[in-house]
Structure 1
Amino acid sequence: MLLLASSSPSVAPNPTAFTIPLINKHPSSDPIKTLKSLASASLTRAHHLKRPKSKPPLTETQVFSESYREYSISLSFGTPPQTIPFILDTGSSLVWFPCTSQYNCIFCGIDPSKIPSFIPELSSSSKFIGCQNPKCAWISNPNALSRCQDCKSSKNCSQTCPPYTYLYGSGGTYGRLLSDTLNFPEKLFTDFIVGCSNFSINIPAGIAGFGRTPLSLPSQLGLSKFSYCLISQRFNDTSESSDLVLYRGSSSDAKTPGLSHTRFRKNPAFPDFYYVDLLKITVGGESVSIPYKYLLSEGKNNGNGGTIVDSGTSFTVMATPIFDAVATAFEAEMGNFSRASADVVASTGLNLCFYITGLKLEKIKVPKLTFEFKGGAKLKLPVVNYFAPAVVGNSSLGCLTIVTDGALVPVGPAIILGNTQQQNFYVEFDLENERFGFRKQNCNK
């Protein structure tokens, strides 16, 4: 259900705030299976985010039932409204849903006939985007428009925009652009551009792109900011909800109390992403030695390097030089615990684990991990956000839920700040003021 929430005095009296339940679901009740699934999905997604034009390694991705799921919302489109689930994704811009009663999805671990689909024929406000509509170029390669041959000599061309193929780390989707009404209880947004997909690989649910290009939901709704608070995954099979809040109207005078802020940075090479300037990582209070060129995305590096905030990646992913420096610092701080062997660690899908046999994780003094951003904001992570227990055979482990993509030199962002590290923080994407804000907060209702 979508609710219109009146703005509280602590936020602002002017903007309209739409509150959407944000659901967290997990692929398995088996902790090791879940850890390995999330680690694999994080690395596969990182490969795509860094190389968006390359083909995803679909056949190499480990597929679990509902392994596509992260944090989902429900949106209602059409006249009358049809409610469809979507994955919240700040690392992409297209909003799309399964869009036919014959929807086909391979490697999805679910019967396609049971996947909720939008049916355009049942909506009186649905219409496919035509070749002459400038919004067609939002997703189609300009060269693809040359296929609109019927529109070159006709003022009343009925040919639709060429089909899109949109790739993600774990798969992709194929369809056509559709215009329809996005329904909120107190507000209708007509002529919203949405992807109408009839075929996907490994992605049975729709995805709501919250990225930075004109195609995204924030851009199309003219949001001044949006915020969310991610409940803890806890690596189990429970389903709970928190809130995603969308703000419209000026928020220039709105100050959410208790937030630390850092500025967003734009990277022309990757226009979808929310870049932030991470200046320092500390482990146990000591600064980790990281080459400065990896921390900032500079033009001389062809847009490579830097840090992005991504709700669609489970575990934070770091380029190898950064991860190795963090791992070395952790090992030094965990002096009483030996590093687990490579074959044992491989069973978890992670990169750094320690033997903790006979001890409970809460009894172990795990070194503190802090990300420090330009402007002075410090993201001081709770231990549960970056260190998790695991049992492999007879070995009890404590593992770092941060992984490396194996890149010796960053291609694309050097650090992808995943949703596990964002859990139990209120985070705010202030689009009007181009800044990222956060504060520690219990997200469970």
Structure 2
Amino acid sequence: MRLAADTITHVAILTTSNTKISVVVIISSYADGSAARGVFADETVTVGLTDGRKTRLRNVLIGCSDSYQGSNFDNVDGLLGLANTKHSFAAYAVEKFGRKFSYCLVDHLSNINATSYITFGGGASRNRVKLSGNARRTTLELQALTPFYAVKIRGISVDGKTLEIPMKVWDVTQGGGTILDSGTSLTYLTNPAYQTVMEALTMSVSKYPRVKLDAVPMDYCFNSTGFDATWVPKLILHFEDGARFEPHWNSYVIPVGGGVRCLGFLPARFPGVCVIGNIMQQKYFWEYDLTAKELSFAPSACS
């Protein structure tokens, strides 16, 4: 992701200088089995602001990996840590620019000129980004599943019908829960939810020939020749406080190339957490207010 900025308080281009060595060997692992090994060191990070000035973030923990495994690191130049922990880049940036950050992710198959962005700072980004629908808000559960950003889901509906998913799937106290993760591509649902959601969505695409692709982790893919998007039912995630997230249908009936689409969910074991991945989040503006413990979101073309 290329970083961009919209106001004087927001971070833009990143460079590093003046290394103050404090080396620690690290191993980072992810839910999909990806892992990296390398070192951490304290760095001074120079950031450019939108008025042309620059400022510095001192003693930022920067990692340099010497080996990795898994698809999480394929075709990437680096990872920007946004976790809810004192060691992430987000922790340093929000303390400097205000305890909010926001991002907007374009479609993963967009033209190369389409740019996703992330900003750190106050609410000016909300005023300047073009929204294509009303903003909605829900509570951020910052202490429920640290270092992740947890939200309280109460259910999922498909085509206006609430699916029969056990409430324990969403309940942290019973081994469940849900997080938003911009670092995970696909959306993971623990088995009790996964089976129910897949059954509901499969019915809408069952008229198309099923395809098995070895390089694609998703279970259900199909030949989308003659595909009619009007057959795709609306999927809605319902939050406990009444907010609703309505992802674009293209974010859960995902084109993977060669005239093939796949249902964009992966199964996870229960007990365990559900993960709303970045493809499901695309074409939405997301703002994390760490002081108010509030998540705001609205559909947007990210321009």
Both proteins in one fold, TM over 0.5? yes
User: Which 4+ runs in 1 deviate beyond 3 A?
Assistant: 1-6, 236-239, 253-258, 345-348, 353-356, 389-392
How is 1:424-443 mapped onto 2 (pairs within 5 angstroms)? Answer: 424-443=283-302
Which residue of 1 is the match for residue 201 of structure 2?
Answer: 330
- Aligned partner (choices 236, 258, 261) of residue 137 of structure 2: 261
Paired with 2:4 and 2:234, the residues of 1 have a C-alpha distance of 38
Query: 1:163-174, aligned counterparts within 5 Å?
Result: 163-168=25-30, 169-174=33-38
- Which residue does 1:374 correspond to in 2? 240
Q: Distance in 2 between matches of 1:306 and 1:208?
A: 24
The answer (yes or no) to whether the contact 1:182–1:192 under 8 Å persists in 2 is no
Which one has a larger percent strand, Structure 1 or Structure 2?
2
Task: Check conservation: 2:138, 2:239, Cα contact below 8 A.
Answer: yes
Aligned to 1:400: 263
Q: What is the CA–CA distance in structure 1 between the aligned matches of 2:167 and 2:48, rounded to whole Å?
A: 45
The 2-side partners of 1:353 and 1:189 are apart by: 47
What residue in structure 2 maps to residue 306 of structure 1? 177
Query: Does residue 1:295 correspond to 2:170, yes or no?
Result: yes
TM-score under structure 1 normalisation?
Answer: 0.57
> CA RMSD of the aligned region, Å?
3.0
The structural deviation recorded for 1:442 is 1.3
Partner of 1:17: 9
Matched, 1:232 2:95: no
Judging changes above 3 Å, is the alpha-carbon distance between structure 1 residues 345 and 437 closer, same or farther for their aligned structure 2 residues?
Answer: same
> How far apart, CA to CA, are the structure 2 residues paired with 1:320 and 1:389?
24
Structure 2: tracts of 5 or more residues without a match = none
Residues 1:76 and 2:15 are matched in the alignment: yes
Q: How many residues align?
A: 284
1: CA distance between counterparts of 2:5 and 2:192?
Answer: 46
Post-superposition Cα deviations, 1:271-312, rounded to whole Å, max 9, x if no partner, equal: 2100001111011110111110111212xx3xx311110111
Quickly say closer, same or farther: Cα 1:238–1:201, change in 2 above 3 A. same
The 2-side partners of 1:165 and 1:347 are apart by 26
Distance 1:226 1:18 in 2: 9
Match of 2:21 in 1: 128
2:55 is aligned with 1:188:
yes
Q: Write the distance in 1 (CA, Å) between the matches of 2:200 and 2:293.
A: 33
Q: Does 1:206 align with 2:68?
A: no
Partner of 1:410: 271
CA distance in 2, matches of 1:177, 1:439: 37
Report deviation, 1:400.
0.9
Q: Verify the 8 A CA contact 2:61 2:88 in the aligned structure 1.
A: no
Structure 1: gaps of 5 or more residues: 7-15, 21-73, 79-124, 130-160
- Counterpart contact for 1:176–1:195, Cα < 8 Å: yes
- Shift of the 262–318 alpha-carbon distance from structure 1 to 2, 3 Å rule, reads same
Contact 1:337–1:355 (Cα < 8 Å) also in 2: no
1:335–1:231 Cα change, 3 Å: closer
5 Å-filtered alignment, 1:72-111, equals 74-78=13-17
Which residue of 231, 242, 267 corresponds with 2:116?
Answer: 242
Q: 1:323 to 1:191 in 2, by over 3 A?
A: same
Q: Deviations over 1:149-198 (max 9, x none)?
A: xxxxxxxxxxxx54333334422131132232433243423423222425
Instruction: Look up the equivalent residue of 1:432 and give its one-letter code.
Output: T
